[in-house]
Amino acid sequence: MVTGKCYQSNKKSYHKIRYQSDKLCKENNLIVIDEHYETYKKKYKTSGKSWYENEQFKKGTSWKSKLQFDIDSTIKQSKDWDDFLDKMTNLGYEIKHGKHIAFKHKDKERFTRSKVIGIDYTEDRIKERIKENANHRNYPIKKRIGNIIDIDNNEKVKSSKGYEYWATKHNLQVASNTVILMRGKGIKTLSELDSFIQSNADKRQELQDKIKILDKDISNLSITMEQVHIVKMYRQIYLEYRNDTTDKAFYDEHKSEITQYQNSLAELKKSYSKLPDTKDILKHLDLLHKKKNTLMQEYSFTKADMNELYQIRQNYKAFINNDLER
């Protein structure tokens, strides 16, 4: 019947339609789409991962896992897209531009399209994340401390008086900066410097241990999400089978689904008294990933700190050891 009215789409009408759709699916024993699982798949589930890669990922040695880590840490240190590309190149990656950006580490033979390691790793999403990170960055970019030039054994110094003059002046400036940095950290001797370096190394290891714990929690929770999804997806098939366990033809046709259902349910019962809610699992996963990203950012900063401390120690021993020990 023609009424002259048109359909008005809004959030309220969408939810009404969805409710009716879900109701019809349940009445007809059809699967209801789980929006929380679908969100989980888009945000966290890595596609195209082989069994071997999955096992290596659990151990933290997967090359795709390493690429994820390097991209994540580089994003946090980059001020813009070009800076990101430069830093990835410095980490040993060759970059191929095209419809989908791809990376190849110097130790690998093939390029990997970044989109295959997750939705947050497409070129557009990486650019967005760099901008988001730059807008929230609240730490100063450290100026790299120089290194002492070995004037006695440098061939260029021996062949050029001008360079010898410049190197001497450079060493005095580096020595002065080194002393200022050490004094700023409350360090006066080599033994105090070594203790400070060890303390920072311990903190860095502690961060690494915390990240590993979070990785394990994320992995376990992701497994739980998959198990809940399997139970929901194959529940009706299992109920049909249970109603008549003598129907061999039905069992043979659905053996895989029945087995997956039974195994997943058995694993869930070890830790839960009732079926977990995918909404709660997703919320917990979001929280764990947020904590991990914060720790990874802190971990990447400690690397720069350690490099600076090692350079200070090298300068100390090369030029000013005796003066500071007096």
pLDDT (tens place) for every residue of the chain, 326 residues total: 556 555 455 544 434 444 454 454 555 554 567 898 988 888 777 544 443 345 444 444 456 777 888 888 888 888 899 999 999 999 889 999 988 899 998 888 888 888 877 777 889 899 988 888 776 555 444 556 777 887 878 888 888 889 888 988 888 888 888 888 888 888 888 889 899 889 989 998 999 999 999 999 999 999 999 999 999 999 999 999 999 999 999 999 999 999 999 999 999 999 999 999 999 999 999 999 889 888 888 887 787 788 888 888 888 887 764 444 44
Q: What is the dihedral of CA 37, 42, 48, 54, to 10 degrees?
A: -60
What pLDDT sits at residue 61?
A: 45
pLDDT value of residue 82: 92
CA dist 76 and 89 (Å) reads 16
The helix (run of H) or strand (run of E) holding residue 58 is helix 51-59
- Residue found by looking up tokens 């129907």 in the block: 247
Distance between CA 90 and CA 95 in Å, rounded? Answer: 11
Q: Which residues contact 238 (CB under 8 A, 6 or more apart)?
A: 257, 258, 261, 262
Give the residue from 44, 81, 78 showing the smallest Cα distance to 281: 44
Q: What are phi and psi of 79, to 5 degrees?
A: -90, -20
Structure tokens given for 231: 């139970």
Token pair in block for residue 123? 């070129």
Q: Which helix (H) or strand (E) holds 105?
A: strand 102-105
Amino acid code (one letter) for 319: F
* Of 110, 69, 111, the residue nearest 91 (C-alpha): 69
Query: CA torsion sign, 45 to 51 to 57 to 62?
Result: negative
Provide the 8-state DSSP code for 14.
H
Burial of 166 (0-12, 13-18, 19+ CB in 10 A): middle
Contact by Cβ (8 Å): 103, 111:
yes
What is the rounded distance in angstroms from the CA atom of residue 306 to the CA atom of residue 312?
10
- Report all structural domains of the chain as residue ranges with CATH numbers, in order of start: 53-136 (no CATH), 155-325 (1.10.287)
Q: Which amino acid is at 28?
A: N
Q: 81-132: per-residue pLDDT in tens?
A: 999 999 999 988 999 998 889 999 888 888 888 887 777 788 989 998 888 8
CA 147 to each of CA 176, 210, 230, 309, 313: distance values in angstroms, whole numbers, following the listed order: 12, 33, 59, 12, 10
Q: How far apart are CA 308 and CA 140, in angstroms?
A: 15
Residue 144's pLDDT is 66
**Residue (of 189, 214, 194) closest to 299 by Cα position:** 214
Nearest Cα neighbor of 71 from 38, 119, 109 is 119
Q: Check if the beta carbon of residue 46 is closer than 8 Å to that of residue 118.
A: yes
pLDDT at 103: 92
Closest of 74, 64, 76 to residue 117, by C-alpha? 64
pTM exceeds 0.95, yes or no: no
Give the integer Cα–Cα distance in Å for 285 and 99. Answer: 31
Is 243 in contact with 251 (CB distance < 8 Å)?
no
Q: Choose among 274, 247, 242, 275: nearest CA to 258.
A: 242
**The pLDDT value given to residue 31:** 59
